[in-house]
Amino acid sequence: MTKIYHNPRCSKSRAALAYLQEQGLEPEVIEYLKTPLSVEQLKALVAQCNLSVRELVRTNEAPYIDLQLDQADEQQLLEAIVEHPILLNRPLVQTKKGVRLGRPLEAIYDIL
């Protein structure tokens, strides 16, 4: 089962979803801003994507700056993402082969 953690307002996320559909896939679309992920779900994604939690955080968003997360540890970052889902970088694509951040889009090719 292919999943995309998606923000429909993000052009990169829309492009990844369109690419998946062009490949004949019908991914489960998870709009994480409407249905925030839990710390446990985030940890599972991190474990599958070969990136650190910090690499999945959008550092230019207001909550990151307001909460002064530049010195936060991974647990604090995970909790901040749960509280402020806009902090999660996107799109994340998950298949049985792993999880990739679709920035650039080509990063997801090896798990399809």
Given a cut of 90, whether residue 33 has pLDDT beyond it is: yes
Q: Which two tokens stand for residue 107?
A: 């990063």
DSSP class of residue 88? B
How much is the pTM?
Answer: 0.94
Q: If pLDDT is split at 50, 70 and 90, which confidence band does 32 have?
A: very high
Mind telling me the catalytic residues? 10
DSSP 19-83: HHHHTT--PEEEETTTSPPPHHHHHHHHHHHT--TGGGB-TTSHHHHHTTGGG--HHHHHHHHHH
The domain spans of the chain are 3-111
Give the domain 3-111 fold: Glutaredoxin (3.40.30)
Instruction: Convert the pLDDT of each residue in 89-101 to its tens digit.
Output: 999 999 999 999 9
First to last CA, the chain: 11
R_g of the chain, CA atoms, integer Å? 13
